[in-house]
Amino acid sequence: MLVFDDLHWADRPTLQLLRHLVRAPHPRRVLLLGTFREAELDAGHPLVELASDVRREGTMTRVPLSGLDEPEVAELVSSLGVAGVEPAFLSALHGETEGNPFFIEEVVRHLRASGGRLHAAGSLTEAGVPDGVREVTARRLRRLGAPTRQALQVAAVIGREFEFDVLEAVAPLDDDALISALEEGVDARVLREAGRVGRYAFTHTLVRATLYDGLSQLRRARIHGRVGEALKTLRAADVDPWLPQLAYHFAQAAPVEQPDRAIEYALTAARRADRLLAWDEAAQHHRAALRVRELTGAPDDAVRAGMLLDLGASEERAGMEREARSTSHAAAVLARRLGDATLLGRAALAHAGQWSILGRVDEERVAMLEEALAGLGDEDSPLRARLLARLALELYYSGDPARRLALSEEAVDLARRLGDLRTLAACLDARHYALWRPENVDERLAVAAELRAVAEETGDPELELEGAGWTVVDLLELGDMVGADVQIAAASKLADALNRPLWRWWTSLLQCTRAQIVGDFALAERLADETLEIGRHGQAENAVNAYAQAIFNIRREQGRLAEVEPAVRRFIDLYPALVAWRAGLALLLIELDRVDEARAEFDLVGAEEMPRDANWLIGVTLLAEVCGALGDGARAEGLYALLEPYAGRNVVVGRAATCNGSASRLLGILAAAMRSWELAEGHFIDALTMHERMAAHPWVARTQLAYAEMLLTRRRRGDRARARDLLGDAVGTAEALGMGVVVARARALAAEGGETVAAPR
């Protein structure tokens, strides 16, 4: 059992770690117990979000604590070493504290220290039982000597924990007097010695807060400044670990002294946090620097715009999409007002983000990118190349492939002329996306390889990871699982090191797809859920799309497609450019045996009219499966002609959100609908070969099922025996993987042919 106390004081990185522990697959036999005070939380506290998410997943039981009852109060008081307490006292104590254990302990200790009676109810009134724990703490503090209170107030400014040498440099006491004050604090249980000589901690954060709040704002600010100066002097030999504290203290001192110093340290601490990949912390320091700058009355100039862009970059890396976009928009507004084309270009790139949204064009992003390009003019520069590349990426779903291809080609050519390898890597990344169509996998693979090489040469792990991810997509299309696994491992290692939600989302998605391919649907579903949760903090809209793509296939194999029908219909309405969703609905209706509805949806989708993009092959193959199920031989001919160039290709959905198996299986289904038996058989054999090489067990079973159905329809000599063997193999695989729909269909086919099918032993 792991206990996490006082979670209302936890910051976002700590709660992200807790979220990871809750979802970690090992160890299974562990209880995580967290406590928090609900009154300390507002709606924006990250703990509210965590508790809501975990409760939805069914892994959390919430136990509201209303306080101890009277018998429990008696037990607690007894455990504190108090005997012979009158029932009236316990009843009064319970009533005054509402059974709050902390209140009870504090009151008992206070009464003991003040000589109050612990047996009679009247003693509570005599001692002036506080209304809240803060008042109890204040009473305890007032019992300390004046020098001790003064020293502890300074210590409270330093923090919950503090070092003797820092306090010594700031507190208004000499060595012996300060040591005596600390000893008095320890004896009064206001302080405790924290592990090593000279290190102390307040026994409770509220003790420290009570002392801190007892100081005027002016005095607090001046002490913060002195603490910062003391830290700067005492830790000069190795100041780096102390930069966050220095930034904090100087920021608190900024209203009364040296705001420029506070800005300098906040930015230095932010750069340190960036270096340590602590993106949340970096964003906090950038915000602090901006707040202090506002105190100075500094103008809205290029310096402020640059600070906004730095803040937006940290927010984006931390997965704060909305905040990052708002910050970059503010930078763009300021850059426009200043007439600074370079700043506007940087702001436009930041506002656009690293990826476009699946299935739609963001017109605001396009307008800002085009405005920035116009402002830069035709002069060659790395910024212009990056803007061209990002515009090409944003226009992917605009219906104008020629323009996006021209823009991406121009960006790559410009980067090559400039000899700027980092810019070239960014442009190659966008070039891969712009090229993303089924007919050019070899060209895309070459671009991804160059992207990886250039990114590695420049030491840019993020672009190296992007290249590895694209390579996975391309290799999966070719059915090269060995190569894909190498790149998934490389990308996952980089994602772990980079600690960015965006990259952890994509690599988790790749692992989910890998689990689907081998048929481990329980693992795939768990990974899909985890991937969605990660994506909500770094690629929210795309994460929902990818989750839907993955869960569609998972639910299909589990025989639970009815559960996702409402979601599929919503996606059709939300993303009209993604015609594959309507084809997916037709397949869902086929699987649910609603043939007439499936035919109606099938008739609405014209494969020839689908945009020729990354979703085209997905849509055509979904339609092919529906066409075969409907036995529509006339339409099968047209679909076959469209699909035939991609025989032997694996159908990858999105950025490898899922995989629909070899196109040869679909060609076999279409050929069977056309009653071109030899053609169909050849395609099924090719599909089986590819799926077996990939160890794609679910697709092996589905190919065997479709092949057997064709043989039973053809009815040549030996076909029945061959079909029986195929169906037996399919049943064996499907039963092992929990593919109930395939098992039922295989057995039904065997019964129609007068056979009984059992899984091979």
Q: Where are the domains of the chain?
A: 2-56, 70-129, 696-761
Mean pLDDT confidence for 589-600: 94
Of 101-105, 392-396, 588-592, where does mean pLDDT reach its minimum? 101-105
The one-character DSSP state at 357 is P
* Candidate from 189-198, 226-235, 249-258, 687-696 with smallest mean pLDDT: 189-198
Indicate the pTM of the whole model: 0.78
Those residues whose C-beta lies under 8 Å from the C-beta of residue 115, and which sit 6 or more positions away, are none
Number of Cβ within a 10 Å radius of residue 99: 18
CA distances from 462 to 350, 421, 492 (A): 16, 14, 11
Question: How high is the pLDDT of residue 552?
Answer: 95
Taking alpha carbons only, the member of 320, 367, 321, 361 closest to residue 348 is 367
Ranges 134-143, 495-504, 512-521, most confident: 512-521
Output the pLDDT for position 61: 85
Tokens representing 291 are 């707040």
Confidence class of residue 354 from pLDDT cuts 50, 70 and 90?
A: confident
* Model pLDDT, residue 205: 67
pLDDT in tens, 319-353: 888 899 999 999 999 999 999 999 999 999 999 99
Q: How confident is the model at residue 188 (pLDDT cuts 50, 70, 90)?
A: confident
Region 698-718: what's the mean pLDDT?
Answer: 94
- pLDDT tens for each residue of 610-638: 888 899 999 999 999 999 999 999 999 99
Instruction: Report the C-alpha gap between 566 and 553 in whole angstroms.
Output: 15
Alpha-carbon separation of residue 607 from 321, 323, 619, 665, 751 (angstroms): 35, 40, 7, 18, 35
Residue 493: band (very low, low, confident or very high) from pLDDT cuts 50, 70, 90: very high
What pLDDT, on a 0 to 100 scale, did the predictor assign at position 62? 86
Phi, psi dihedral angles at 271 (to 5 degrees): -65, -40
Q: pLDDT exceeding 90 applies to what percent of the chain?
A: 67
Q: What is the pLDDT averaged over residues 637-663?
A: 94
pLDDT for 761 beyond 50: no
Identify whether the C-beta of residue 2 lies closer than 8 Å to the C-beta of residue 31. yes
Determine the pLDDT at residue 307.
96
- Looking at residue 692, its pLDDT comes to 97
Higher pLDDT, 225 or 21: 225
Kindly tell me if the per-residue pLDDT of 754 is higher than 70.
no
The closest of 45, 44, 54 to 19, measured between CA atoms, is: 54
* Arithmetic mean of pLDDT, 743-759: 76
Distance CA 303, CA 647 (A): 57
The mean of the pLDDT values for the chain is 89
